[in-house]
């Protein structure tokens, strides 16, 4: 279905960092878990390094073909929000690829309006990670 509001976006600054990381590490992927502290930050990995499964939901793609996955439990909380990956100065404590760069990815979100929610609900559930390589 066309005309759906994207569930995932990235700021120009985050996209520039993603491009730089792709040059260094090859194709990328993200996973957003629902942990606390840095566990709630989007984690950037070389594509396929993080194994996605049936409990992971594909939010969409950013910066071209970079898949962004989210844990199903976290998706249930965030299904009514559009998530934007951004980048800020500082170092996270995770294994995300940007850690050595002195910056970290964060997420910002906004609530979908009623019309956007209706379109997304009519489209059905997003794909799950069953047998898909991130």
- Read off the pLDDT of residues 77-90 as tens digits, 9 standing for 90 and up: 999 999 999 999 98
Q: Is residue 134 part of a domain?
A: no
Q: Is residue 128 part of a domain?
A: no
% of the chain at pLDDT higher than 90: 76
Would the pTM count as exceeding 0.95? Answer: no
Express each pLDDT in 49-79 by its tens digit: 989 999 999 999 999 999 999 999 999 999 9
H/E segment holding residue 83: strand 81-89
Task: Indicate the burial class of 119 (C-beta count within 10 angstroms; 0-12, 13-18, 19 or more).
Answer: middle
Beta-strand ranges (E) seen in the chain are: 8-10, 28-32, 42-46, 56-62, 66-71, 81-89, 103-111
CA dist 105 and 99 (Å) reads 9
Residue 11 is predicted with a pLDDT of: 98
Q: Is residue 52 part of a domain?
A: yes
Q: Is residue 31 part of a domain?
A: yes
Structural domain that includes position 82: 8-123
Q: Are 30 and 68 in contact (CB under 8 A)?
A: yes
Which CATH number belongs to the domain containing residue 103 in this structure?
A: 2.60.300
Q: Is residue 85 part of a domain?
A: yes
Count of the separate structural domains present in the chain = 1
Residue 72 is predicted with a pLDDT of: 92
């Amino acid at each position: 279905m066309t005309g759906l509001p994207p569930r995932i976006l990235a700021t120009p600054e985050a996209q520039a960092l993603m491009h730089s990381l792709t040059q260094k590490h090859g194709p990328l992927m993200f996973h957003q878990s629902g942990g606390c502290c840095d566990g709630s930050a989007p984690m950037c990995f070389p594509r396929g390094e993080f194994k996605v499964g049936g409990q992971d939901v594909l939010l969409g793609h950013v910066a071209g073909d970079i898949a962004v996955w989210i844990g199903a439990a976290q998706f249930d909380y965030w299904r009514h929000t559009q998530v934007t990956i951004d980048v800020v100065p500082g170092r996270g404590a995770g294994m995300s690829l940007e850690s050595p760069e002195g910056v970290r990815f964060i997420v910002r979100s906004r609530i979908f309006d009623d019309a956007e929610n209706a379109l997304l609900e009519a489209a059905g559930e997003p794909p799950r990670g069953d047998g898909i390589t991130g």
